Structure 1
C-alpha cells in the first residue's frame, strides 16, 4: 500500500462562527445534513465501503505475552526503577526525592510547603498556568506529616513515600468531585480509584487534581471552565491533552510524576509537548476502577514522568489486576525484566519511512536522532508497509465518539449548553454515527489488531514521532471557549490512534527540541504486555538526548 494521508477538510472556527455551527449541529433539519457533509468531506464514505473481511465485532484476543524472567513485588520493582536512576544535579526525580529524604537534607513536609507556595505563584492570578482543578492543602500537609514520621522511624512504605504526585481529574480521589473537566459533576467521590489507593498505600503525597480538557474529548488542553492549561516551556503554547494539567505540573517541577488518562493520546501527547515521558500501557494493564466511564474500548490510565525511571516506578505500583476491572483480569504479571539492559542487539525497530517523515522537519530530525541512538546500541531497522490512516482515523473516531456521546447523553439531553463548544461539536458527531457504523468500526478494530500483531512478529517495536508538530500556539483571541481546529488535532493524533484501537502499549520519550526550544517526542509502540521492553528502549533514547529546563520551573529539593 502506498502511504497516503488525506488532507483535513474542515474550517477553523471560533467565537460566534463556532457557536452558530454547534447550534446547527444540535438541531434537526439542516444539522444532520451538515454533520454528514463534514464526515463525507473527511473520508467516511470510503471507510464505510471498506470491507472488514471475516472480522467479527469483538476485540481480537491479545496474546498473553512472555512470562517475566525475574520475580519481584510491585514495590521492589518501583525501588529497582528508582535505583537505576542516575544522580544528576537539578533533576528532581523520584530517586532524588528518596535520596534527599534518606540523607535528611529535607523531608516531605518541607517539600509539600514549598510545593504549595510554588502552586500559588504559578497557578494564581492573571498569569496562571491552569494546572489544577481542585486542591486541599491542609489535607495534603497531613499526608506529608505522616510520611515524614514513617521516614524518621525508618519504615517508609515504598520508594514513593513522601514523593509529590498529581492525579488527573478523571480519577476518583475520596473527598473530591471527579469533574472530568466539567462544571456539573459536583458530588465528591466516596472512595479512591484503584490507582489513587495504590499511590496512597505507597506513601505518595497527592498534591491535588489536575486540569484536563473537558471530558477528555480533545487533545488540545483548553478548558472553558477551568482555564487553558499553559505549557511551562512557553506559556503561549498548549500543553496538549486531554491530560493537560498532568503534563504541565511535572514539566513545571511540582512533582516528578503524575497520572493521566489516554483514550486517544491523552497521556502521550502532553508528554511529548511538555518534554516528558508518558506511558499508555496495554489495555487493562492498569485498572480503571474508580474512573468514570467515557470510552470503554479505548481508554487507559497511566503515568507521566520526568524520566523513564520515574514512569517505570509509578507503573510498577499502579499496574496489575484489582479483581474489579474486567479488562484487567487474566493478565500476566507486570514486570521490568531486562529493564536496565542498554545493549539492544537483536531488537528490530519497525519504521514506515514516509509515515515517519510526515511531520515537521525539526520533529523528524530529532526522531531520527532517537532512532540512531537505538541503532548505535545494537538495534536494527526494518521497513514496514504504510498504514491505512483513513481506516484507522474513522475506526477510532467512531468508537471513541460514539462511546463518549452515550456516556454524556443524559447531561446532553438535560442541558447541552453546560459543555464547551468544542465538546458539543464532538458529541454531536458521536451521536450522528449509525449503529451500523459502530459495528463496522468494531469489526475493523478486530482486523487492525490482528494485522498489527502479525506485523509485529517481525519487529519488536514500531517507531514514529509522537506528534507531527511541537506545541501549537494557544489561540488567545478564542479563549475561553476555544476553537475547532481539525488540522491541529490531526497533527497531534496522526501517530497515536492505532495503539488505542489495538490496546498495544506505547511510550512517548523526549527526543530533543525544535528551533524554537519546544520539546519533541518520539513514540515507541510494542506488543501487548511488553511495557518493560518499551521502557528499556526509552532509557537508551533518554540517555542520548539533550536535556533542558523549562522557563517556568521550580525546585522543591535543596
Structure 2
C-alpha cells in the first residue's frame, strides 16, 4: 500500500472543509499540493497549470465574498477534484484519450459547473480507456494506469485515472463515467467508493458519449459520505440533456428495519479464489450486520449483460465514433476500433429486436429485485496483471464486466464499496445494486458498511474518519412522531408502507406539553408548545418527499403537521394538535412520552 507522502494527500471532503473553517489551511495551499503531485504520472492527461489554478482561486474568493464570507454556504469550498478526460471543462482540452479527437471546451459540463459553483477546485483531467471503451485502464495512448496497490496489475477502467488519483489521495473526489461498469470496476480494484447514479440523475451535457442511452457520469471518493455529498450537489434536471430526468422522490431513502439482500444463486470468479474468498467473507459480514440473504436466479442479469457488447447495442458506440471512423480510423486504439467496428454489421431490425429483448430482461430483473433492498455482487469477478491483459484484452475485459454490464440497461442504481484485501494484498470490493432512484438508500447502507469494516481509505493508509452526523437524505422529509405512529404502535404501518425509514429516538425542546386525546381510535396524543412544559420523547423518520402528501392526508383532526423544535435546536416536521381539542384532554406531560403513558394504562 502506498502511504500518503504529502500532509494534504488523502483528505476527505469533510476534512478539507473543517481545515478551512479552522484556518489551518487556505486555498492557496492547493498550489503546494499541485507541486507535490508525483511526476511523471500517467493517471493524468492534463494537470492544472499555476495560471489556471490562480484563476480558479480568484473565482473562489469572489464566490466567498458573495456569500458574506461564510464557508459553510459553499459546501465544496476549496476542495480539490479531478474529472475524467471525456468530460468538458471550459478552456481545457477534452481528448477522450485520443489526441486526434481533442478539442478545447467552450463551457463546463453541467456537473462541473455545479461543483465549481459550490467551491470545488479542478486539479486536472484524468486518463481513461480510449472513448470510455473498456474496463481495464490500458487502452490509452497516454499509457496504462497501474493499480494503486501493485503496479503489475491493472487499475480497471475506463475511469482508470479518476480512480487512481482518488485512491492515492491526490484529490478528495473525482468524476468518472459508467456505461458498462467504468465507475465501479476501478473503485473495486483500488479500494475506494464508486457511486453509479440512476441514469439521468446527473446531466450528461458536456460528456463525450459512449452509449448515449445508458451513459452515466459517476463519482469516486474515499468515503460514501463524500460520494453522496458530491452527487447531491452535481445532480439535477438539465433541459439541455435529452436523457436527463427529474428525481420523482418516491423511492425509499434507506433500507428497511429487516435488511433483505439478494445474491446470485450461481457465482462465477473465473478461477480467482482470492476474490471469491473476499466476497464470501463480505456475505458473512452482511449476515453479522443483520441482513437476510437470499439467493436468486442470475440468468436474466447475465443474459442482459451479454447484450451490451455481444449484440447490436455495440452499434451505439459505433454511432458515437462515426466521424472518427470515417476520417481518422487509424487514430483509434486497435482494440477499441475492433469493438466499435463490430457495430457496422447490425441492421436497424437487429437494433429493434435487441431493444425488445432488453425490455423483457429488464422487466424480469426488476421483478426479481422486488422485495429486496439490494442485490449484492462482487464488483469484479477477478483482476488481471498488465501482462495478462495485453495477451487477452477482450476476454479478460469481459470477465471484469460479468457483474456490471447489465446495470444501466436495466435502469438500476449501484454503489461499489471496498470489502477488504485479498491474501495477495490487492483490494476487492462488493457492489450494491437496486432499482432506479434508490441511490439514497444504497448510500445510507454503504455508510454503515464502511463504518463497520473501518478499512483504511484507498491506498493512502489513512484511517476512515469518524462518521459525521447523518444529514437528511436528499428527496425526503424528516418527520417527528410522538404517539400512535411510533415503532410498534398501531399506526406505524402508515410510515413503513410508504418506505419511511427510522432515523433515531430523540427529545423535543423543553417547552412542550403532551395530552391524551379523549375518544380517539386508536388512542392518540396531542402535542402542544406551552410554558412550563418539558422535553417529550419523539421518533424521527425520513419519508420520501413524494409520499409525504399521502401520509399527511391520512391524519385526522384535531391533529396536523407543523414544525417541531428538537432539544438540539433542529427544526423538523412533526405532529401538532389544534388548541380547541386540548380543553378536555388529560395532561400526561409528566410521563415524558407516549410509551410510558400507554405502559401505565396496561399496568392498571
TM-score range relative to shorter protein: 0.7 to 0.9
> C-alpha displacement at 1:352, in angstroms?
1.8
Residues 65-144 of structure 1 mapped to structure 2, 5 A cutoff: 92-110=11-29, 112-119=30-37, 122-124=38-40, 128-144=41-57
Show the counterpart of 2:263.
351
Aligned partner of residue 283 in structure 1, secondary structure: coil
8 A contact 1:252–1:553 mirrored in 2: no
Counterparts of 1:516 and 1:182 in 2: how far apart (Å)?
35
Between the aligned partners of 2:88 and 2:104, the Cα distance in structure 1 is 9
Aligned partners of 2:427, 2:150: CA distance in 1, in Å?
10
Q: Which residue pairs with 1:208 in the alignment?
A: 124
CA separation of 1:270 and 1:214: change in aligned 2, threshold 3 A: same
Q: Secondary structure at the match of 1:99?
A: helix
In 1, the alpha carbon distance for the partners of 2:57 and 2:107 equals 20
Matches for 1:94-493 after TM superposition, within 5 Å: 94-110=13-29, 112-119=30-37, 122-124=38-40, 128-147=41-60, 154-156=69-71, 157-333=73-249, 337-338=253-254, 345-355=257-267, 360-388=272-300, 391-397=303-309, 398-470=311-383, 472-475=384-387, 484-493=392-401
Q: Report if aligned partners of 1:268, 1:507 keep a CA contact under 8 Å in 2.
A: yes
Cα distance in 1, alignment partners of residues 391 and 77 from structure 2: 41
Q: Name the residue aligned to 1:499.
A: 407
Q: Which residue of 2 aligns with 1:84?
A: none
Residues 424 and 511 of structure 1: CA distance in aligned 2, closer, same or farther (over 3 Å): same
2-structure distance, mates of 1:333, 1:199: 22
Q: Hey, what does 1:532 align to over in structure 2?
A: 440
Alignment CA distance shift 1:550-1:196 (3 Å): closer
Q: What is the Cα deviation at residue 423 of structure 1?
A: 1.1
Question: How far is 1:392 from its partner?
Answer: 2.0
Partner of 1:86: none
The Cα of 1:408 is off from its aligned counterpart by 0.9
Q: 1:523 Cα deviation (Å)?
A: 0.9
Q: Distance in 2 between matches of 1:513 and 1:520?
A: 6
SS in 1 for 2:432: strand
Distance change (3 Å), C-alpha of 1:550 and 1:346: closer
C-alpha separation between the residues in 2 aligned to 1:116 and 1:365? 39
In the alignment, the residues of structure 2 paired with residue 97 and residue 350 of structure 1 have an alpha-carbon distance, to the nearest angstrom, of 37
Distance 1:141 1:239, change over 3 A: farther
Q: What are structure 2's unaligned runs of at least 5 residues?
A: 1-7, 464-604
CA distance in 2, matches of 1:446, 1:490: 22
Q: Secondary structure of 1:184's partner?
A: helix
The reply to whether residue 512 of structure 1 matches residue 424 of structure 2 is no
Change (3 A) 1:109 1:437: same
Pairwise CA distance, 1:422:
0.9
Q: TM-score normalized by structure 1?
A: 0.76
Q: Is the 8 A contact 2:222 2:458 kept in 1?
A: no
**Partner secondary structure for residue 234 of structure 1:** coil
> Contact 2:139 / 2:336 at 8 angstroms: preserved in 1?
no
Secondary structure (helix, strand or coil) at the match of 1:237 reads: coil
Bigger drift between 209-218 and 391-400 goes to 391-400
Number of the residue aligned with 2:511? none
Q: Is the 8 A contact 2:261 2:374 kept in 1?
A: yes
Q: Secondary structure at the match of 1:405?
A: helix
CA distance change for structure 1 residues 302 and 393 in 2, over 3 Å: closer, same or farther?
A: closer
- Label 1:191 to 1:495 Cα distance change in 2 as closer, same or farther (>3 A): same
SS of the residue aligned with 1:502?
A: coil
CA offsets 1:221-252 (integer angstroms, 9 cap, x no match): 11442121122212222111111110001011
> Alpha carbons of 1:251 and 1:506: their partners in 2 closer, same or farther (altered >3 Å)?
same
- Between Structure 1 and Structure 2, which shows a larger proportion of helix residues? 1
Q: Compared with structure 1, are the counterparts of its residues 435 and 226 closer, same or farther at alpha carbon in structure 2 (3 Å cutoff)?
A: same
Alignment RMSD: 2.6
Task: State the Cα distance separating 1:458 from its structure 2 match.
Answer: 2.3
How far off is 1:97 after superposition?
0.6
CA distance 1:399–1:167, shift in 2 (3 Å): farther
The range that moved more, 455-464 or 352-361, is 352-361
Q: Is 2:237–2:244's contact at 8 Å kept on the other side of the alignment?
A: yes
C-alpha contact 2:202 2:234 (8 A) present in aligned 1? yes
Q: Secondary structure at 1:235's aligned position in 2?
A: coil
Question: How far apart, in 1, do the equivalents of 2:271 and 2:249 lie?
Answer: 36
1:362 deviates by 2.2
CA distance in 2, matches of 1:483, 1:195: 37
Q: Structure 1 residue 337: deviation in Å?
A: 4.0
The Cα of 1:297 is off from its aligned counterpart by 1.8
* 505 and 359 in structure 1: CA distance in 2 versus 1, 3 angstrom threshold: farther
Q: Is the CA contact (8 Å cut-off) linking 1:129 and 1:231 kept in structure 2?
A: no
Counterpart Cα distance in 2 of 1:178 and 1:150? 26
What is the 5 A alignment of 1:3-18?
A: none
Q: In structure 2, do the counterparts of structure 1 residues 390 and 378 end up closer, same or farther at CA, with 3 Å as the change threshold? A: closer
Q: For the structure 1 residues 522 and 359, does the alpha-carbon distance in structure 2 shift closer, same or farther, using more than 3 Å as the test? A: farther
